[in-house]
Amino acid sequence: MNCIKGFSDAESCLPGIENNSDFQHTGADHQLSAPPPWYRNRSILWASLFSILLLLAIVSLVIHEKDVKAAAAKRALAAVKPSVTTTVTTAVKGNIGIYLDAIGTVTPVYTSSITAQASGVLTAVHYSEGQLVQKGDALIDIDPRPYQAQLLQAEGALERDKNILAQAQMDLERYRTAWAGNAIPKQLLDDQEKIVLQDQGTVKNDQGTVNYDQVQLSYCHITAPIAGRVGLRLVDPGNVVQATGATVLVVITQVQPTTVIFTMAEDSLGQVQARMRQMHTLPVEAWDRSQTTQIATGKLFTIDNQIDTTTGTVKLRALFDNKNGALFPNQFVNTRLLVNTLQGVTLVPTASIQHNGEVAFLYVIANGTASVRNITAGAANGGMTAVEGINPGEVVATSSYDKLQAGSRIVVSRQAVPASPAGSNVP
């Protein structure tokens, strides 16, 4: 059997054909010219890979060009920032006070709760509810007739005993004359002298009874012990009161002047005492509950003599003339004690100060452009704050904080710009 070689898989054997000289592989007619299949697949793979890489390169180039154009447009937009309309103010040089704030209670200097000191029927009530009375004004009358009768009896006894004393004194003078002429024994003279002394004691006792009854009678006519405001009426004519009872007939509270008692931390006591030694007195302001309206101005009157160990505070009393009656007894007020005054500091509106965490800053306006300036804020009072880091005369923004940023172009408005949230900007 003859086999034909030249194929990749195996020899091809043709049956019936012997390896002889009659059958020869001669010439090109009997040769196989087709390339192997694996070589043709490898060429196609390299061509496909090259096409994919070329496509990726083209896509990357297009994306890069778009990014470059977008960045350029963003930079151009940032370079041309929109203008911001805002109101402005100028930092000024001035003085500002340092205050200690506390909650106080209006406490009258005097409060009188009047009770009955004589028993009887009320015959008249002379005051009106809420009336301002002066010291000595009539308030209430109690039926005085029983006390008038007792006084009359006491005066009668006094008059009788005075005449008895006068008679004893006349007899004493006669006895002295008679004893001088040896007309009577010395014993009679001595006895008469003691009788006179006894009668003098009786007269004195009668005089005390008269005085006591006069005082009791005076209790029937009740007058105002102090000047102040009368409270609501507690009794009416016809009511029976007892001298030993605890029923309050009327309450009078002094309103002019009045005081405010407030507390202060013991850490501030040394500062206040040192200032009082220099000034002798310190101004105190009373404000309403919302701290928007000042009610009155007074002065520090005194400091308590001991610190409350449970709270670590000390009480202070401030005196107010209260001529307009704005301070009402037992009213809660906010007090501000002036302990020092800073001279020649730079002042800006408190609302213009912005905060980024613990950093305070201002938007400073110069040449129509805003810039951020970090500052150090100090004492504040009356809507103004002392600051460091800015000079008097520099212009700062006072509105539109939600739109402002460094480099913003500024349009100054003469009218107030609607308020925007303050304290949340980050420069």
| Parent domain of 174 | 144-219
Q: Please report whether residue 291 resides in a domain.
A: yes
Asked if 223 and 125 touch (Cβ cutoff 8 Å), the reply is no
Residues 99 and 65 in one domain: no
pLDDT, mean of residues 301-310:
92
What is the phi/psi pair of residue 165, to 5°?
-65, -40
pLDDT, mean of residues 384-411:
88
At residue 315, does pLDDT exceed 90? yes
Residues 304 and 400 in one domain: yes
The whole-number pLDDT of residue 76 equals 59
Round the average pLDDT of the chain to a whole number and report it: 84
The whole-number pLDDT of residue 210 equals 96
User: What is the DSSP secondary-structure string of 46-86?
Assistant: HHHHHHHHHHHHHHHHHHHHHHHHHHHHHHHHHHSPPEEEE
Neighbours of 220 (CB within 10 A): 22
Query: Which tokens in the block code for residue 225?
Result: 């012990």
Residues 195 and 317 in one domain: no
Residues 101 and 71 in one domain: no
Alpha-carbon distance 395 to 398, whole Å? 10
End position of a domain, from candidates 219, 237, 270 = 219
Q: Which pLDDT band holds residue 281 (cuts at 50, 70, 90)? A: confident
Query: Which tokens in the block code for residue 255?
Result: 């309103």
- CATH number of 367's domain: 2.40.30.170
Alpha-carbon distance 163 to 58, whole Å? 145
Residues 58 and 165 in one domain: no
Tens of pLDDT, residues 23-65 = 444 444 444 455 555 555 667 777 777 778 878 888 788 887 8
pLDDT, mean of residues 226-253:
91
Residues 202 and 270 in one domain: no
Residues 6+ apart with CB under 8 A from 130: 229, 230, 231, 232
The whole-number pLDDT of residue 232 equals 93
Minimum mean pLDDT range among 233-242, 332-341, 379-388: 379-388
Residues 171 and 194 in one domain: yes
Asked if 189 and 175 touch (Cβ cutoff 8 Å), the reply is yes
Q: Which pLDDT band holds residue 131 (cuts at 50, 70, 90)? A: very high
The whole-number pLDDT of residue 79 equals 55
Q: Please report whether residue 139 resides in a domain.
A: no
The whole-number pLDDT of residue 60 equals 80
Residues 53 and 100 in one domain: no
Residues 149 and 268 in one domain: no
pLDDT, mean of residues 349-370:
89
> In percent, how much of the chain has pLDDT > 90?
54
Residues 172 and 212 in one domain: yes
At residue 247, does pLDDT exceed 90? no
Q: Which of 344, 348, 387, 415 is nearest to 85 (CA)?
A: 415
Q: Which of 391, 374, 403 is nearest to 86 (CA)?
A: 403
Pairwise pLDDT comparison (78 vs 392), residue with the higher score: 392
pTM for the whole structure: 0.63
Alpha-carbon distance 126 to 124, whole Å? 6
Residues 212 and 180 in one domain: yes
End position of a domain, from candidates 202, 219, 236 = 219
pLDDT, mean of residues 264-279:
89
Q: Please report whether residue 228 resides in a domain.
A: no
What is the count of structural domains for the chain?
Answer: 3
Alpha-carbon distance 3 to 16, whole Å? 10
Alpha-carbon distance 324 to 344, whole Å? 35
Q: Please report whether residue 76 resides in a domain.
A: yes
Q: How far is CA 240 from CA 92, 116, 120, 236, in A?
A: 71, 10, 6, 9
Residues 261 and 398 in one domain: yes
Q: Please report whether residue 148 resides in a domain.
A: yes
- CATH number of 149's domain: 1.10.287
